[in-house]
Homo-oligomer: A and B are copies of this chain.
Amino acid sequence: MGKTYKIACIPGDGIGIEVIAASIKVLAVLQPLFDFKFEYTDLPWSSEYYRKNGRYMPPLPEALATLRKHDAIFFGAVGDPDIPDHISLWELLLPIRQGLQLGSNVRPSKIFKGVKPPLAGCEVGDLDWLILRENCEGEYCGQGGRSHTGTPYALGTELAVFTRFGIERHMRYAFELARQRPRKLLTLVTKSNAMRHGMVLWDETFYDVAKDYPDVKWDKMLVDAVTIRMVLKPKSMDVILCTNLHGDILSDLAAALSGSIGIAPSANVDPERKAPGLFEPVHGAAFDIMGKGIANPIATFWSAAEMLRWLGEAKAADGLMSAIEHVLEHGPITGDLGGKANTEQVTQAVISALKQ
């Protein structure tokens, strides 16, 4: 008898709702095939919920307690054309990431057969990265403020706070993951030349932690220079370890270089597994295409595969990834990948591939 997992499902806003619905269909087919069971709790936390209740979710302790009763969280997207982003994010996604201390955001990128990447001459296997983005602190810790507002002397600050604890937890996880990959190569990304306080703590912590992983090769680059390497020497990198903001930027760049943000998945996890992981596509609510049924569901399918792997259902994860790869290679594919299919057609194609 297979295991049963409790999944908290937060479709959220925009195309998040569409791609989570598509994924639930795929997961329904996957469960009997690989002998596991998902019990979903539907959480309607979203911009619509905010309009009704004046908040995106119940008070934080209650919301986190609800989430903690689950094995994993399956998240769509948050954002609404009528609500400032800094409100929607700081009321839903960021407090969950930080509240559950999901300290590492793992973002794989690779080139699939059938996907035409934008870099000339870049082929399957030439770009296969795992971006390890710190996920709870740094530039996104939320501190800062404003003074003299509305006057010519107005000023605003953003404080990035880096803690040895947060950095080390994240770095050890990056080394653990690098160790499991064939190339075992880790690239540390910081900006410790121009930013000489917290960023230097990153470098120093890295040198300490690296001593415990002598089997992992590593190098170090500044965040500006690493973009050049990503474009001109994609093969030279494997695992890319970076701060919250740097990882945010580099993972979008990686998604673009591998063909589309429409396939990019992410896993927000506590490396010590003291909280349920949160799995979500990297793309957001995508106001421009929401409600049209044309969103690419692959990023969310891949995120579901990462969720399965994290839960220990490696065979189901592999099975789902094979079906995704089959559909990317043979179609149908959505507009962002140069195809004409809609969300439902891609979903049905993945389901057919699973059944074969």
Contacts and interface: CB of A to CB of B under 8 A. Distances in A.
Nearest to A246: B249
B146 A86 contact: no
A197 interface: yes
Contacts of A120: 116, 118-121
Nearest to A163: B155
Interface stretch (A39-47, A220-228, A290-298, A303-311): A220-228
A162 interface: yes
Contact of A196 (B142, B162, B194, B225): B142
Contact of A160 (B86, B160, B165, B202): B160
Choose among A118, A198, A225, A227 the residue with the greatest number of B CB atoms under 10 Å from its CB: A227
Interface in A100-153: 116, 118-121, 139-140, 142, 144-146, 148, 151-153
Interface in A151-171: 151-165
A126 to B, nearest CB: 12
Contacts of A119: 118-120
Nearest to A255: B228
Given A227-B252, A228-B253, A193 B85 contact: yes
Interface in A19-43: none
A224 B250 CA distance: 7
A248 interface: yes
A198 B252 CA distance: 23
A158 B195 contact: yes
Interface of A: 85-86, 88-90, 94, 116, 118-121, 139-140, 142, 144-146, 148, 151-165, 191-202, 223-225, 227-228, 230-232, 245, 248-249, 251-253, 255-257, 261
6 contacts: A119-B119, A120-B120, A120-B121, A156-B197, A223-B249, A253-B253
